[in-house]
């Protein structure tokens, strides 16, 4: 099959590695990809947000399957356009991707289908927002409704913090994405993520993971896209997984179909494990980044067959096999991230022959001499595999120590509590 993968981050490197490994793949094109993917397919110089060019390319090249990595093209309806042109796309329709694209949509949907979640209120003006913040005694979470690159959530300790966040968001901090905001009850408990594959009818459990969102050790510093992850999550045992599938994922799959917007693709469920059971923090309509870098290396079943079962229907008879191994990934980021940082610093990665260690590229490029350089905030995700969390973690950190990049930093406590 001729497959076009869209995206250029660490998640897409992990996807490219698994797709290239599939016996069904004869020709893999990646737009735009990154230097880490050079040996896995042909890199195409089209940006992941140039939807018209991506669509035209897929049509002209008569691609058999388009795999959409990031959320933005999904929310913008790229899968619908491809579908209408007779090209299979892995990833939900725009209507189904609203589960990530609009937090108010996701919350209202959960209410309609009795899916456990915190109390919430939507607001479009200051008075309404303040009233709800006061009703929750200020102990709340303020969220922009739309996509805000992971920055649209403020967990407030006091009413003043919450009101300041509401003012900024309603004042246009995230443009149209924060015209509507949510004021949510702040719930407590450990967090974990669950990934499932949906085909518009059936839902198949895939794997669990846990990421580390704060920039620095000890969960200090600003929120990031994720500084490391482990799979499986040490906090989700079989009983909890069944509970999440039963109370959240299957009702969601049924509900989306009943409402005429069947969900096909990967569903990422962000959970808080409260004393009243697991509750939904958020849905994402794609693999996580860096969660993909710990989940996909554990997948033993051919990933392309799984994607086809999700897009064409047929997950009811599909079986996914997973390696019992644990995987831990350490993100190496440019100093300054998630704030301002410089691009262009030199990275040297020595040859790696260890099958239990994978260096995924996220924000890398080549300069005019072919030298590898940093070109983003999160730059590498170094994954180690092992029989338990401890050995996986050790593998990953040993490989990180061999990477020569003075302008990078990483957390030293990823998966330390596992
Ligand atoms: P989100 O972008 O929705 O995943 O939110 C980012 C982070 O904010 C989550 O990982 C949680 O730690 C926290 N958070 C979001 N919603 C809530 C909530 N209702 N109660 C407590 N913490 C929350
Ligand atoms: N690591 C969080 C995300 O992918 O949304």
* DSSP character string of 78-100: HHHHHHHTT-EEES--HHHHHHH
Cβ 184 vs Cβ 118: under 8 Å = yes
d(CA 331, CA 399): 12
Which carries the bigger pLDDT value, residue 352 or residue 39? 39
Q: Is the pLDDT of residue 351 over 90?
A: no
Greater confidence (69 vs 155) lies with 69
Probe residue for ligand 1, chosen from 282, 284, 285, 289 as the CB with the greatest number of ligand atoms within 8 Å? 282
pLDDT for residue 182: 97
Tell me, rounded to whole angstroms, the distance of Cα 22 from its chain centroid. 22
| 349 CA → ligand 1 middle, Å | 35
pLDDT band at 191 (very low <50, low <70, confident <90, very high): very high
Average pLDDT, whole number, for the chain? 96
Model confidence at 66, in pLDDT bands (50, 70, 90)? very high
Ligand 2, CB cutoff 6 Å, lining residues? 211, 225-226, 284, 288-289, 291
Report the pLDDT value the prediction gives residue 30, as an integer from 0 to 100.
98
Residues above pLDDT 70, as percent of the chain: 100
Query: Does pLDDT of 322 surpass 90?
Result: yes
Average pLDDT over residues 36-42: 97
Per-residue pLDDT tens over the stretch 284-297: 999 999 999 999 99
Cβ neighbors of 206 (< 8 A, separation 6 or more) are: 195, 196, 197, 266, 295, 299, 320
pLDDT at 418: 74
Report, as an integer, the average pLDDT of 362-376: 97
Q: What is the pLDDT of residue 417?
A: 83
**pLDDT surpassing 90 at residue 34:** yes
Q: Is pLDDT at 415 greater than 90 in this prediction?
A: yes
DSSP string, 281-347: EEEESS--TTTHHHHGGGB-S-HHHHHHHHHHS-GGG----B-S-EEEEEEEEETTTTS------B-
Distance CA 309, CA 65 (A): 12
Q: Is the peptide bond before 290 cis (omega within 30 degrees of 0)?
A: yes
* Cα distance between residue 86 and residue 33, in whole Å: 24
- pLDDT tens for residues 226-284? 999 999 999 999 999 999 999 999 999 999 999 999 999 999 999 999 999 999 999 99
Q: What pLDDT was estimated at residue 149?
A: 81
Q: In angstroms, rounded to a whole number, what is the distance separating the alpha carbons of residues 215 and 193?
A: 19
Residue 150 has pLDDT above 80, yes or no: no
- pLDDT for res 352: 82
The SS3 assignment for 378 reads: strand
Q: How far apart (Å, rounded) are the C-alpha atoms in residues 11 and 360?
A: 8
The number of the ligand 1 atom at minimal distance from the alpha carbon of 188 is: 21
Among protein residues, the one with the nearest Cα to ligand 1's atom 5 is 153
Burial class (CB in 10 A: 0-12, 13-18, 19+), 201: middle
- Beta-bridged to residue 144, according to DSSP, are 181
- Best of 142, 153, 186 to mutate for ligand 1, by most ligand atoms within 8 A of CB? 153
pTM for the whole thing?
Answer: 0.96
């Amino acid at each position: 099959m001729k497959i076009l993968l869209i995206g250029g981050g660490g998640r897409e490197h992990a996807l490219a590695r698994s797709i290239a490994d599939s016996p069904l793949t004869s020709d893999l094109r990646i737009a735009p990809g990154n230097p880490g993917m050079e040996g896995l397919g042909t890199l195409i110089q089209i940006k992941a947000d140039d939807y018209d060019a991506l669509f035209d390319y897929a049509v002209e090249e008569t691609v058999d399957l388009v795999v959409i990595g990031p959320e933005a093209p999904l929310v913008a309806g790229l899968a619908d356009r491809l579908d209408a042109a007779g090209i299979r796309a892995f990833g939900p329709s725009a209507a189904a991707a609203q589960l990530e694209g609009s937090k108010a949509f996701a919350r209202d949907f959960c209410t309609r289908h009795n899916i456990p979640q915190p109390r919430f209120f939507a607001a479009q003006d200051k008075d309404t927002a303040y009233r709800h913040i006061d009703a929750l005694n200020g102990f709340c979470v303020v969220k922009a409704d739309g996509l805000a690159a992971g920055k649209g959530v403020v967990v407030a300790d006091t009413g003043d913090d919450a009101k300041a966040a509401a003012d900024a968001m309603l004042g246009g901090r995230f443009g149209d994405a924060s015209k509507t905001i949510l004021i949510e009850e702040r719930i407590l408990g450990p967090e974990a993520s669950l990934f499932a594959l949906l085909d518009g009818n059936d839902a198949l459990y895939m794997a669990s993971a846990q990421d580390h969102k704060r920039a620095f050790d000890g969960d200090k510093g600003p929120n990031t896209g994720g500084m490391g992850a482990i799979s499986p999550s040490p906090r989700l045992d079989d009983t909890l997984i069944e509970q999440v599938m039963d109370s959240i994922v299957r009702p969601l799959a049924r509900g989306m179909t009943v409402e005429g917007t069947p969900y096909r693709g990967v569903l990422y469920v962000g959970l808080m494990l409260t004393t009243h059971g697991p509750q939904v923090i958020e849905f994402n309509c794609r693999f996580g980044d860096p969660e993909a870098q710990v989940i996909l290396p554990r997948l033993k079943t051919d990933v392309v067959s799984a994607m086809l079962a999700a897009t064409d229907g047929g997950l009811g008879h599909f079986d996914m096999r997973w390696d019992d191994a644990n995987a831990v990934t350490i993100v190496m980021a440019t100093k300054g991230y998630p704030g301002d940082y410089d691009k262009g610093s030199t990275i040297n990665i020595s040859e790696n022959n260890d099958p239990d260690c994978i260096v995924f590229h996220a924000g890398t490029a080549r300069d005019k001499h072919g030298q590898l350089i940093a070109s983003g905030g999160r730059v590498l995700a170094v994954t180690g595999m092992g029989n338990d969390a401890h050995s996986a973690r050790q593998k990953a950190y040993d490989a990180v120590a061999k990477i020569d990049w003075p302008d990078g930093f990483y957390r030293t406590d990823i998966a330390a509590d596992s």
